[in-house]
């Protein structure tokens, strides 16, 4: 009896196992059809098209396409010049026949801002060049004419004679905020047009010792030699600035680049195209930022404004009664809190047109009328990109 029970149990176990295998692998033998729900998910996981890698990630493709066509490469050359000592026999005895200096070449970028062929770039890109060649992104080339330069902002305006030119849209750089994404477009190291991305790191950077009038946009978009004069654009491809300089200990990009705002570039462009030059006001003072110590020393209440430490004899300020120790708080109704703001406000004055300065003195405040003269730009030296 025990053996029969054991045989029965083994037989049932084998039959159950066989049924399970057949039901799983060959359900049609039992008259069953596989469930669609159990097959479709596996099939979809294997054959469905994967989502694009850029899904959910912002792309600057449109901005790059819109702006890149209007960004050009600028090749400059300077012919060799005679050595002034080449006729000296002693010079020739020691140095040989070195009668002429070697030709020089330079590289930079620019931005087409008008269908008439006007191009914005940096002054240091084309400074002292004998020939300037502009190469468009579509491969066309043209020799450029210098319409005018403004060394104090390091801007220059060129013009080429080609037709059907792509033109960039000038944006509102005053609307930029820290953290806004931007693109830098130019021709670094001569490798060809390159687009790099970053954000606005800071605004209103001054006292860098690069230009006389500074109001830089700082960005961490990679800028290298050859990018000078190129475009800094927003996510719509609108021009926000002209790439000008970098902070670097090695000569390469370290994530701190500077661009001249479009608001400044627009004013320079309009003045040069209209008048051939930029005309700025001048009053003949030597200003200095007002510190609490200086305010206490001169008996000035508060620390708002710019203190005058020197006045040019017979200059516009001297003729108006400005004297050392005066603190200028407003120029033509515009508040000034530091030297950079004072220079900018005075430069915006029209030479020969009477204007009002608000002055703070030991004995109180007063308004002084001054007739600004015309500013003569000094020679500039700077390290730029």
**Active centre residues (catalytic):** 124, 154, 228
Helix%, strand%, coil% for the chain, nearest 5: 25, 30, 45
Q: Residue 256 phi/psi, 5° resolution?
A: -130, 100
Residue 128: is it exposed, middle or buried by C-beta count within 10 angstroms (0-12/13-18/19+)?
exposed
Place of tokens 């000035």: 300
3-class secondary structure per residue, 86-136: CCCHHHHHHHCCCCECCCEEEEEEEEECCCCCEEEEEHHHHCCCCEEEEEC
b vs e for 349-380, b when ≥16 Cβ sit within 10 Å of the residue's Cβ?
Answer: beeeeebebbbbeeeeeeeeebebbebeeeee
Under DSSP, the state recorded for 170 is: B
Query: Could you tell me which of 247, 234, 242, 182 has the C-alpha nearest to residue 215?
Result: 242
How far apart, in whole angstroms, are the C-alpha atoms of residue 230 and residue 42?
Answer: 52
Q: Are 240 and 261 in contact (CB under 8 A)?
A: yes
SS3 at position 171: coil
Question: β-strand 71-78 against 131-135: which pairing, if any?
Answer: antiparallel
């Amino acid at each position: 009896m025990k053996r029969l029970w054991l045989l029965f149990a083994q037989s049932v176990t084998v039959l159950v196992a066989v049924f399970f295998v057949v039901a799983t692998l060959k359900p049609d033998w039992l008259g069953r059809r596989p469930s669609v729900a159990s097959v479709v998910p596996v099939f979809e996981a294997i054959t469905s098209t994967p989502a694009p890698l850029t899904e959910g990630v912002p792309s600057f493709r449109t901005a790059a396409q819109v702006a890149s066509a209007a960004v050009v490469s600028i090749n400059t050359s300077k012919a060799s010049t005679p050595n002034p000592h080449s006729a000296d026999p002693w010079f020739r005895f020691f140095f040989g026949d070195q009668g002429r200096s070697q030709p020089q070449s330079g590289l930079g970028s620019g931005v087409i801002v008008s269908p008439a062929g006007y191009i914005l770039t940096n002054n240091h890109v084309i400074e002292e060049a004998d020939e300037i060649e502009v190469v468009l992104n579509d491969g066309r080339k043209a020799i450029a004419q210098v319409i005018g330069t403004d060394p104090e902002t390091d801007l220059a305006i060129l013009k080429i004679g080609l037709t059907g030119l792509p033109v960039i849209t000038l944006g509102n750089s005053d609307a930029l905020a820290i953290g806004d994404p931007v693109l830098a477009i130019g021709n670094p190291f001569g490798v060809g047009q390159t687009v790099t991305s970053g954000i606005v790191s800071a605004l209103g950077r001054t006292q860098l010792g690069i230009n006389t009038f500074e109001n830089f946009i700082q960005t961490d978009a990679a800028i290298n030699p050859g990018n000078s004069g190129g475009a800094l654009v927003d996510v719509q491809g609108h021009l926000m600035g002209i790439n000008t300089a970098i902070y670097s200990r090695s000569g390469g990009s370290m994530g701190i680049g500077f661009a001249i705002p479009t608001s400044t570039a627009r004013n320079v462009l309009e003045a040069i195209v209209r008048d051939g030059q930029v005309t700025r006001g001048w009053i003949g003072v030597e200003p200095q930022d007002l510190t609490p110590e200086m305010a206490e020393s001169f008996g000035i209440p508060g620390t708002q404004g710019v203190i005058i430490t020197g006045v040019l004899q017979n200059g516009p300020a001297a003729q108006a009664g400005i004297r050392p120790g005066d603190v200028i708080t407003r120029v033509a109704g515009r508040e000034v809190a530091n030297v950079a703001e004072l220079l900018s406000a005075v430069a915006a004055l029209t030479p020969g047109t009477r204007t009002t300065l608000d002055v703070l003195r030991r004995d109180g405040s007063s308004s002084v009328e001054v007739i600004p003269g015309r500013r003569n730009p000094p020679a500039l030296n700077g390290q730029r990109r």
